[in-house]
Structure formats: C-alpha cells, structure tokens
Amino acid sequence: MLIKTMFLSVMFFALALYMQGAWIHWMRSRKIGEAIKDYGPAEHKKKKGTPGMGGFIAFILAPAAALAVYFCGAATRIEMIIIWSYPLLAGLVGLVDDMLKSLRKSSEGLRSLQKLVLQIIACCAWAWIVAGRGIFLLPDFQLPLKIGAPLLVFFGVGALNAVNITDGLDGLAGGAAAISLVSVFIWSRDPAVMSSASIGIAIAIAFLWHNSNPAQVFMGDVGSHFWGGLLISLCAAAKSLVFVIPVCFLFGVELITSAIQIVSIRGFNRKVFKMSPVHHHFELSGMSESLIVARFLIAHAVGMIVLMLLIEIARNGGFACVYRG
C-alpha cells in the first residue's frame, strides 16, 4: 500500500506542477490578476496583478485524488466521501468568492455574512455524512451527536476562515498546510487518511513551487477553503477530532490574534497589534516577508509537536475513555 501511495503522490505532484504552470500562463495571457486590498501593508501594492485562484488546481484534482485513493484499495466508499467531500464543498464556496472578485476586478467578493452562511451550509451537509459513522474526539472516545455535530461544524467553519486569514504572505498558508499534512501522514495509522494526506502533500508542494516568494500565483479563497476543509476532514476520518487543534496550530494563532484585534478596537478603541492578522504586525515592524514566513513555519511545526505530545500525555494519563450513551 505504501508503494502505491508514493506512486500516486509522485504522479499528482507532477500533474499539479504542470497544471499550476499552465494556469499561471493562462491567467497572464488574459491579464487576469489579483486586486490588492487598500487597507493592507503598502509593500503589498507591488503584488497587484499577480494571477490568483491558484488553489483551483487542487480543487479540480480532488475528484481524481478521491477516486485514486478508493480504487487503489486504501479507502472504503464512505471514507473517500468523508475525506474529499468537504474540501470540495468548501472550495466551491471559495471559488464563488474568487469569481465575484475577478468579475468585479475588486478585492471584495461575497459579503462576510453571505460567506459565513455558505460555509455553515457546506459544513452542515458534510457533518451529516460524518455523523452517520460517528464523531470521535479520539478513536476510543465517541462524542454524543448533540455535542459532536456542533463541535464539528465549529471546527469546520473555523478552519476555513483561519486558513483564509493566514493566506497573506507568499508561501505562508501553503507551507503551513503542507507541514500539517505531513504531521497527519506521520501520526495516522489509517490507510485512507495516510494516502489522502500524502496526495495532499504532493499537490501542496506543487503549489508552493509557484507560490514561494516572490509568488507567481496566489492561493485565493478557493485554495484556502480547500486546504482548511481537507485538514478538518482528515482528522474527522481518522476519528481524532481533537488533533484539529495541533494540526491547525498556526492557523488558530492567526485567527485568535485577529479576533483579539477586533475586540480591542471595538471594545476599547485601541490596537493590540499594528495590524492583524499577526503576520502583518511583524511586516510593519520591519521584518522581511521571507523571514516572517520561515519563522512562522518553524513555529507552526514546533507548536504542533508540543500540542500533540500534550494530547498523548493526557490520553495516556486516563483522558481517553469509551463513550457509551
């Protein structure tokens, strides 16, 4: 099975690498580029016109990846659906947002409330599928549906927005997603999860080939929603929802800092950070984009390791139990 998985991963890496390059060429030939937000760092203005929606390649490769995992015998039908349906549903929400931005030639697509409603609908549809098999905090700790379903939707919607917020520097969100997928591949013992994570790593690295500083293409909402959805769905499929916390460590930090900034401004009329998400704070403090990305990715890896160790310590100390409701 491992040999099949490695073969599929190499094949998807080559395919994604070629398709990403073709996508960039097509976008440039039609002069379709990203609009930069006016309220972002001034240094980002030079990125205006860079092709966007790079995550579209991962989105259109997902059905082929799902079928490959299924037909190579690594996943059952329900495992294939659980793992790959949410990235596709979430990616579709992001794609609608990106298309609106492109048509309007603006940095604004769906309104915040519109996007949130679509995210919740997509996540609830997926959660209903997962609930049919059971929602597990850990493999030996099944949650009651009235707790597990809201928690799954909370994590599912949160992950989409957290990855989206993190996607502000060249290579940051894509690099963090790749590292997270590597961790999933290492700790999981489920063939379906391992095979899907491996293919996800291959596609993410192919994207990073073009997205590393200076980026030739941006991820777009379709990409951030797709990768956020995939990380959550892998944890759910592995029956280890608690591992969403370490796997999404950096994304969570970015989301929390943004929430702190909003509360501080609206509640106390003062800023905690020079700009949020927190990676922009370091930019405005004079740190180079490449240095921020490198240090954030290291912090992400270290944070994941520490949190995973803490979970294992708590689990071995009697945290895990079998829920019988």
Rounded Cα distance between 81 and 63, Å, is 10
What residue type is assigned to position 183 of the chain?
A: S
Q: Which residues pair with 138 in a beta bridge?
A: 141
Q: What's residue 55's pLDDT?
A: 94
Using the CB atoms, write b or e for 146-180: b if 16+ within 10 Å.
eebbebbbebbbbbbbbbbbbbbbbbbbbbbbbbb
From the list 138, 175, 153, 136, the residue with the least C-alpha distance to 90 is 153
pLDDT in tens, 173-201: 999 999 999 999 999 989 999 999 999 99
> pLDDT exceeding 70 applies to what percent of the chain?
94
Whether residue 60 contacts residue 16, with contact meaning beta carbons closer than 8 Å, is answered with no
Whether residue 147 contacts residue 92, with contact meaning beta carbons closer than 8 Å, is answered with no
Pick the more confident residue, 319 or 199. 199
Q: What's residue 320's pLDDT?
A: 45
The mean-pLDDT minimum among 45-49, 73-77, 276-280 falls in 45-49
Q: Which residues pair with 141 in a beta bridge?
A: 138
Question: H/E element holding 137?
Answer: strand 136-138
Rounded Cα distance between 309 and 315, Å, is 10
Cis peptide before 277 (omega within 30 of 0): yes
In 3-state terms, what secondary structure has residue 73? coil
Q: Quickly state the pLDDT bin for 324 (edges 50, 70, 90).
A: very low
Rounded Cα distance between 159 and 251, Å, is 7
Q: What's residue 241's pLDDT?
A: 96
Pick the more confident residue, 43 or 166. 166
| Residue 200, token pair as written in the block | 């996800």
The predicted model scores a pTM of 0.93
Q: Quickly state the pLDDT bin for 323 (edges 50, 70, 90).
A: very low
| Residue 38, Cβ density class (10 Å: 0-12 exposed, 13-18 middle, ≥19 buried) | exposed
Q: What's residue 173's pLDDT?
A: 96
pLDDT in tens, 80-114: 999 999 999 999 999 999 999 888 887 788 999 99
Within a 10 A sphere around the Cβ of 26, how many other Cβ atoms? 11
pLDDT in tens, 121-152: 999 999 999 999 999 999 989 999 999 999 99
**CA dihedral of residues 164, 78, 126, 166 (deg, nearest 10):** -10
Pick the more confident residue, 325 or 298. 298
From the list 275, 276, 274, 243, the residue with the least C-alpha distance to 258 is 276
Question: H/E element holding 26?
Answer: helix 2-29
| Residue 9, Cβ density class (10 Å: 0-12 exposed, 13-18 middle, ≥19 buried) | buried
Q: What is the DSSP string of 278-324?
A: HHHHHHHTT--HHHHHHHHHHHHHHHHHHHHHHHHHHIIIII-----
pLDDT in tens, 1-36: 778 888 999 999 999 999 999 999 999 988 887 766
Q: Directed axis angle between helix 77-104 and helix 112-131, to 10°? A: 170
**CA dihedral of residues 78, 84, 89, 90 (deg, nearest 10):** 130
Q: Quickly state the pLDDT bin for 321 (edges 50, 70, 90).
A: very low
Average pLDDT of 212-217? 91
pLDDT in tens, 281-290: 999 999 999 9
| Residue 221, token pair as written in the block | 């909402």
Calculate the average pLDDT of the chain: 91
Interacting residues of 231 by C-beta distance below 8 A, sequence separation 6+: 159, 163, 177, 180, 181, 184, 244, 247, 248
